[in-house]
Homo-oligomer: A and B are copies of this chain.
Amino acid sequence: MAKARKHNYKKKAGQVPGTAIYTGSKSSEKLFIEVFDYNETQFTEKHLTDVSETFQFKGSDSITWVNLNGLNHVKEIEKLSKHFNFHPLVLEDIVNISQRPKIDEYEDYFFVVLKMLYYDKDEKIISEQVSFILGKNHVLSFQESEGDVFDAVRERIRTAKGRVRTMESDYLLYVLIDAVVDYYFNIIEILGDKIEDFETDIFNGNATDDVSQNIQNLKREILKVRRAIFPLREVINRIEKSDNALISKQTLNYYRDVYDHLIQVSENIDIYREMIWSLMDMYMTTISNKMNEVMKVLTIMASIFIPLTFIAGIYGMNFDYIPELHYQHSYFILWGVMIVIFIGMLIYFKKKKWL
Question: Which residues of A come within 8 Å of B, CB atoms?
Answer: 2, 5-6, 9, 12-19, 87, 89, 98-100, 102, 104, 151-153, 156, 161-164, 174-175, 178-179, 182-183, 185-186, 189, 192-193, 196, 199, 203, 205, 209-213, 215-216, 219-220, 223, 227, 253-254, 256-257, 260, 263-264, 267, 271, 274-275, 277-278, 280-292, 294-299, 301-303, 305-310, 312-326, 328-331, 334, 353-354
Q: How far is the CA of A213 from the CA of B274 in the complex (A)?
A: 14
Whether B280 and A280, one on each chain, are in contact in the complex, defined by CB atoms closer than 8 angstroms, is no
Question: Smallest Cβ distance from A99 to chain B, in angstroms?
Answer: 8
12 further interface pairs, Cβ-Cβ under 8 Å (given A104-B256, A203-B213, A295-B298): A5-B192, A13-B183, A14-B182, A287-B288, A287-B289, A288-B291, A301-B306, A318-B318, A319-B324, A321-B331, A322-B331, A323-B331
Known A-B contacts A2-B189, A162-B17, A193-B6; the reply to A307 vs B316 at CB < 8 A is no
Tell me the nearest residue of chain B to A205, going by C-beta: B353
Whether A284 and B284, one on each chain, are in contact in the complex, defined by CB atoms closer than 8 angstroms, is yes
Main secondary structure of the interface of A (DSSP, over half): helix
Whether A325 and B320, one on each chain, are in contact in the complex, defined by CB atoms closer than 8 angstroms, is yes
Query: Which of B212, B254, B330 is A319 in contact with, Cβ under 8 Å?
Result: B330
Chain copies in complex: 5
Q: How far is the CA of A181 from the CA of B19 in the complex (A)?
A: 16
Q: How far is the CA of A163 from the CA of B283 in the complex (A)?
A: 56
Q: Hey, which chain B residues are within 8 Å of A321, CB to CB?
A: 328-331
Q: Hey, which chain B residues are within 8 Å of A296, CB to CB?
A: 294
Q: How far is the CA of A104 from the CA of B257 in the complex (A)?
A: 10
Q: How far is the CA of A89 from the CA of B219 in the complex (A)?
A: 35
Q: How far is the CA of A19 from the CA of B182 in the complex (A)?
A: 14
Question: Smallest Cβ distance from A300 to chain B, in angstroms?
Answer: 9
Q: List 9 A-B contacts (CB under 8 A).
A: A14-B152, A280-B285, A294-B295, A297-B299, A299-B301, A302-B302, A315-B318, A319-B334, A320-B326
Question: Smallest Cβ distance from A149 to chain B, in angstroms?
Answer: 8
Query: Which of B162, B256, B299 is A294 in contact with, Cβ under 8 Å?
Result: B299
Query: Which of B183, B189, B220, B316 is A318 in contact with, Cβ under 8 Å?
Result: B316
Whether A227 and B267, one on each chain, are in contact in the complex, defined by CB atoms closer than 8 angstroms, is yes
A-B pairs, top 6 by smallest CB distance, nearest first, are A14-B152, A312-B313, A16-B162, A315-B317, A298-B299, A316-B316
Q: Hey, which chain B residues are within 8 Å of A280, CB to CB?
A: 278, 281-282, 285
Query: Which of B163, B277, B291 is A292 in contact with, Cβ under 8 Å?
Result: B291
Whether A257 and B89, one on each chain, are in contact in the complex, defined by CB atoms closer than 8 angstroms, is yes
Q: How far is the CA of A293 from the CA of B256 in the complex (A)?
A: 56
Whether B316 and A312, one on each chain, are in contact in the complex, defined by CB atoms closer than 8 angstroms, is yes
